[in-house]
Structure formats: C-alpha cells, structure tokens
Amino acid sequence: MSLPSEPTAEQWAAAVAAVRSAGADDEVQLFCHVNPDGDALGSMLGFGLGLRRLGFTRIRATFPGDFAVPSPYAALPGADLLVPEPEAFADPRLVVVFDVASESRLGALAGRLAAAPCSIVLDHHASNTGFGDVRLVDPRAAATSVVAEQLLARLGVELDREIAECLYVALATDTGSFKFDMTTVAVHELAARLIATGLRPGEISRRVFDSRPFGAMKLTGEVLGRAVLEPAAAGGRGMVWTWATLADLERHGQPPYVLDTLIDPVRSVAEADVSVVVKQVAAGEWSVSLRSKGAVDVSGVAVSQGGGGHRLAAGFTGYGEADDVVATVRRLLDEYLN
Ligand code: AMP
Ligand code: MN
Ligand code: MN
C-alpha cells in the first residue's frame, strides 16, 4: 500500500492564509482527540503558544469527554489554554484540530468543527478520513507535532523553550522515546532544534515516562499477570493479549489514563507479532490497542471495526465482553494472514 502524500505547497499556503485571515481578537478554538495523549496535547498546546506569540488573544484548547488531563502532561507549558469541553467557544472564527484521525474522535465537538467558517486539520494518521477545510495530513510524520512545527515556521513563529517543550513531549511520546521506525534523521534534527532552546530531556522524560503512582504499578502488575499468549494466532506469528476493567481501576484507585502505556510491556513479548490490550471504558464498551512487530497492518483491522491508526499501532472501540472483542481480533488477523 502506498502512503498518501505529504501536504502540498497549496495546502501549506492555505493554512497560513487561514491563520492570517483571523484577527488578533478573533476566537480561535483548538481541538485534539478524546483521551488525549502526549502528541495530541503537546502539538495542540505548542501550536496554541505559537498563536499567542503571534498576538492572538482569545485562544482556547479542549478535547471531548471528561476534563481529565493525564498527570504526566498537566504541567505542559500552555496548559492554561485548556478548558473543559462545555467551555469551548460556541462560534469560533477559526478551528484547528490536532492528531485526530477521524471526526468520531472529536465526539460532539465534530459539529463545532463543521460549523466553523474555517478549519485546519493537522494530523499524521495514514487512516485520516479527510475532514476540515484545510488538511495538513502527513502520514510520514512521526508525530502531529512535526506538522505543527512546520506550520509555525511558515507563520514566522520562532521556537522558544515553552513551545519546544510541548512539541518535544509530543515527538518523544509518539516515537516511543525515539525508538520506532518513524525515527528518521529529520526527527533527530527536529529534536536537536527543540533541545537547543534549552529544554531538559532528562527532566521531561522523568516527568512524562518515569513517574507513576504506586497504585498504577500494582494495577499494571495484576493486568500483566493475566496476559494470555496464543502462539498459533495471527497465522502462527503469535498474539499476546490482556484486559483491564473499570473495577480494576477502582480497586487500585487509578484513573483510566494509567492504562495508556500498558501496551508497551505487552508488545515486548518475543513470541508474538501482535499484541492487544482491551480496556473497559463503560459497561460492554472497550478501548482496544493493537500493535504489530511488522507482519500485520493492524490499522486495517482497526479501520474495519470503525477505528484507525498506523500500520504497526492502531486502535478501535469494541463492544460486548472482553472475550468477544479478542475473538473478533483473532478472526480478523486470521482473515488478514491466510
Ligand atoms: P493507542 O493504542 O490508544 O495508543 O492508539 C494507537 C493508535 O491508534 C493511535 O494513533 C490512535 O490515534 C489510534 N486509535 C486508537 N483508538 C482509535 C479509535 N477508536 N479510532 C481511531 N483511531 C484510534
Ligand atoms: Mn494521539
Ligand atoms: Mn500522534
């Protein structure tokens, strides 16, 4: 499958014109996806700070659902731009969207996007469904923050330490701390420019990756302890999976975001190409994380279930019992590989 191409010169020019057409006192609304991760929040807040440097005075940033900012990101520069969903501008002049592969990831805010006189979408998902007026979607970009940095540069915003910290957190989280295949020369060059503003990578990593409540560690231990390895699944390439319920979270007194990184130890299992974590979000509703080491395009599986993502990292919302959701994944993998 050939990847869709990067944004054209016309699209970049249209995005710059869209920002410049708004006045400094016009309302600018920024959105990122539900259950925001480091890239969603980092690219959105970094860009928001850039707009502030350009003189915009009325900027709000939000995401759908509970106003729960995962604590690793709560201290990001620009976090003062964040408002709960009900406080988003009702009728903004400009909407800018970050790291959102499909409108379904915006919940009820998708209507606000459609109604806005102008919208710009910054994203890097190959599965992006194509929405918004100006689309800056680069599936070759390691993170949405790569696209955000390019647009800031075209707008004449100079990187400072605060903007850089947001963009760096986004880049570091989406590349798995500069480990994944997307970690190109250009990624390291961008990281170098961000670090040159004076930010402290060690400090950021400790805060973002290496700081979890004790209860989160105990919960992780329990959920990893019940993982199942199926060597014959995924056409004999192996699948490893586990699940976590709302009751598990409650028992350990933890918020849902602590499960966001649970896929990382699961996907390290050598005997399996495919890893799956099924996380309950409500009765009969599960957020499913899929990863492959290379044999399977898991975004195909996710898209077939109404989700999305990248070739080797994708997700969807599943319904029923956790076992049913895993059975569906098992069947789709067999169909894909046989
Ligand atoms: P996660 O497993 O939550 O870390 O997500 C892996 C990738 O899949 C990310 O790029 C997400 O944006 C994408 N993704 C996860 N869940 C969904 C969903 N329900 N719909 C669309 N994309 C998703
Ligand atoms: Mn994301
Ligand atoms: Mn991303």
Which tens digit of pLDDT belongs to each residue from 198-219? Answer: 999 999 999 999 999 999 999 9
pLDDT of residue 1: 41
- Rounded CA-CA distance 242/300 in Å is 21
Q: Is the pLDDT of residue 3 over 60?
A: no
Take residue 117 and report the two structure tokens written for it: 């006189």
Of the candidates 179, 117, 147, 115, which has an alpha carbon nearest to the alpha carbon of residue 40? 147
Over residues 57-69, mean pLDDT: 97
Strand ranges (DSSP E) for 168-218? none
Take residue 159 and report the two structure tokens written for it: 């990187």
Q: Report whether 302 contacts 101 (CB < 8 A).
A: no
pLDDT of residue 2: 46
Q: Ligand 3 center to residue 41 CA distance, Å?
A: 10
Taking CB atoms and a 6 Å cutoff, what residues make up the pocket around ligand 1? 101-102, 105, 125, 263, 289, 307-310, 313-317
Take residue 144 and report the two structure tokens written for it: 């949405």
Looking at the CA of 145, name the nearest ligand.
3
Take residue 235 and report the two structure tokens written for it: 């056409």
pLDDT of residue 338: 72
Between β-strands 313-319 and 285-292, what pairing exists: parallel, antiparallel or unpaired? antiparallel
Whole-prediction pTM: 0.96
pLDDT tens track for 102-132:
999 999 999 999 999 999 999 999 999 999 9
Q: Is the dihedral of CA 197, 203, 205, 209 positive or negative?
A: negative
Q: Is the pLDDT of residue 310 over 60?
A: yes
Name residues with Cβ closer than 5 Å to ligand 3, which is an ion: 39, 99, 144, 174
Average pLDDT value for the chain:
96
